[in-house]
Amino acid sequence: MTQDNPLLDFSDLPRFADIRAEHVSPAIASLLEENRAVITALEQNTAAVTWENFVQPLDNATEKLGRAWGIVGHLNAVVDTPEMRAAYNENQPAITEFWTELGQNLKLFAAYKALQNAPEFTALSQARKTIIQNAIRDFRLSGAELPDDKKQRYAEIQEKHAALSTRFSENLLDATNDYGLFVESEDELKGLPEDIIQAARAAAEADGKSGYKFTLHFPSYFPLLQYAENRHLRETIYRANATKASELGSKAEWDNSNIMAELLRLRKEEASLLGYQNFAEVSLVSKMAESPAQVSQFLEDLAKRARPYAEKDLAELRAFAAESLGIADMQAWDTAYASEKLRQQRYAFSEQEVKEYFPEHKVVDGLFRVIQTLFAVDIKPDQATVWHKDVKFYRLERNGELIGQFYLDLYARNGKRGGAWMDDARGRRLTSHGVQTPVAYLTCNFSAPVTMNGVEKPALFSHDEVITLFHEFGHGLHHLLTKVDDLSVSGISGVEWDAVELPSQFMENFCWEWDVLQHMTSHVDTGKPLPRELFDKMIAAKNFQSGLQTLRQVEFSLFDMRLHDAFDPHGAKTVSDILQEVRTQVAVLHPPEFNRFQHSFSHIFAGGYAAGYYSYKWAEVLSADAYAAFEEHAQETGSTLSRSVGEKFQTEVLEAGGSRPALTSFKAFRGREPVIDALLRHNGMAA
């Protein structure tokens, strides 16, 4: 079966049309066997270690395994089926075991150290030096220097951790997919936009039911909170969303409480085995930030700066809810509704009004226009087999030469995990056949097109969703525009986790530029572009409640850092206690006691952001300061779409990938250290 196995075909793009769950186990078994044979040969090699006889064959073998397993993980995330989930879970322990073995292999560790100490090291490229230094660091973090009994325990921790993280995600997905709020009468949906009502009707019809169905997928539940005049409906959907995958949720088997506690115990034990006081210290070894104390100080300072703005935001919202909406006791399920009404009153527009100017085709065309202008590339539709009929595929070219390709999967659906993300399908590297071009997955969860009165309307994106698309595409550009030829540090690979959000958050800024928006808007009914008057209102409202939003991000980041720094997972305090302590310190808006946000905090329990969620705010300092270079250009020319500044950003940040420290790349672009001023200004919090 291995000969015909599509997961073992690395000649080009993944063969999604051919891949089945039954292909997974034979493919992974074959690749693990091949990798172990390569490692045995490398261990037995008696010649002097060189890049060509050691790193390259190891990279060649592990890349295949990484690519095949990446496809399986991707399918598990975007078209979750019982068969694919079972295949993923069946093979995950063997994958985890292999990477742990590799990371603890003393002969390979010694070979990397020999490479670093060899006279030839100084002649290597900066990228290759970085790869060798990163490998030595990672061997130490993988427990290579531990005694055998502790190595064994470390391996057990890794396997159990991987299984628990996967289970956390599955519980969240199952709880999300399972829920349905059915509403019989349209009278109860007063205030909701027509496209949301039509989507709810279609969802009910798909279930063979009458009326309207709302789910816990973001494009379905959030408009209820934002627009529904029926307060009981808002409370019902809020409770369902706030308690999913918890002990208060619909099924005990989906409760993530014990999983969170066990993950934290395992992380603490891992840190102790490696000689660190806590997992936060382990996490920061490979990041820009130097210590948990430095991160906490950064976050607490940001909280202090944001707090007066947040207190003002909240006071205004409570007063408005009481005086204009008759809601004297504003609750958590009222805040989005009251905020939207206040925005409409203060700035004389609604998010729904804006949304009608952002049909999918214009947004995507506008995004491509920005990229093509800044980075002198062409983006064209391309052909590939895909995992769902809604997925589109494109290629990037420069002067007719292929640079990279990407899949675009924009709509929410059952069996697809929530959120938005970029992942790499294939990295750039130089091979004996020439350059292997990079390929990316760009995944979002937006509303799909709806049919109204027999006519299919294009998908309409809120401005927030447009920002999300630009954000993920920033990650995509980091992956696709790299010029590094060595896999481990090309694109996003090897970039410090707290700098990896720089290009993504940088791209968000263009969503607020008039010369960008006038080219990416077209009213769904009239075809007219966004009026300048409405744009000016959007700009006026840009920092509406930014104090509250900043404190919310700080709250999540501090909670994450505290869990992995000072918290004793064997002590009397619980995860909920830590969250409450953080809220007491920094929050001004407190959710109800039943809120179980932590039970769906996938970033830190299932997504690689453990002791790293602060990265969003840390990198925003870098991204805002980087974007300020484009704003400075606009003061002279009237446009931030500068090819000259774009070229420098491309050369110093995007093309460099992980081949050098992110701070070095930033300073090469800006000519100085980053400063926080632009971040505060962008958020309306400058002195």
Q: What is the DSSP string of 382-434?
A: -----SSTT-EEEEEEETTEEEEEEEEEEE--TTS-SS-EEEEEE--EEETTE
Q: CB atoms < 10 A from the CB of 389, how many?
A: 5
Give the separation between CA 281 and CA 294, rounded to whole angstroms: 11
- Does the active-site annotation cover 533? no
Cα→Cα distances 686→305, 306, 534, 547, 626, Å: 9, 10, 25, 12, 17
The runs of H, that is alpha helices, within 274-359 are 279-284, 292-325, 332-347, 351-355
**Helix (H/G/I), strand (E/B), else coil: 381:** strand
Q: Do residues 658 and 493 make contact, with C-beta atoms less than 8 angstroms apart?
A: yes
**Helix (H/G/I), strand (E/B), else coil: 147:** coil
Give the separation between CA 677 and CA 277, rounded to whole angstroms: 34
Give the separation between CA 539 and CA 541, rounded to whole angstroms: 5
Give the separation between CA 147 and CA 129, rounded to whole angstroms: 28
What residues contact 366, with CB distance under 8 A and at least 6 apart?
516, 517, 519, 520, 521
Q: List the one residue out of 604, 557, 611 whose CA is nearest residue 585.
A: 557
Residue 182: in which H helix or E strand, if any? strand 181-183
Count the residues in the chain.
687
Could you give the strand order of the β-sheet that contains 439-446, starting from the edge strand earlier in sequence? 378-381, 392-398, 401-411, 439-446, 421-426
Q: Do residues 427 and 1 make contact, with C-beta atoms less than 8 angstroms apart?
A: no
Cα→Cα distances 182→244, 276, 402, 446, Å: 17, 51, 49, 21
Among residues 472, 496, 620, 655, the one annotated as catalytic is 472
Give the separation between CA 439 and CA 495, rounded to whole angstroms: 18
CB-based burial of residue 182 (10 Å sphere; 0-12 exposed, 13-18 middle, 19+ buried)? middle
Token pair in block for residue 56: 């390259």
Half-sphere CA count of 127, side-chain side, radius 13 A: 19
Give the separation between CA 472 and CA 507, rounded to whole angstroms: 9
Q: CB atoms < 10 A from the CB of 330, how many?
A: 19
Q: Do residues 520 and 280 make contact, with C-beta atoms less than 8 angstroms apart?
A: no
Q: List the one residue out of 597, 596, 610, 605 whose CA is nearest residue 561.
A: 610
For the chain, how long is the longest CA-to-CA vector?
A: 82
Just list the catalytic residues: 472
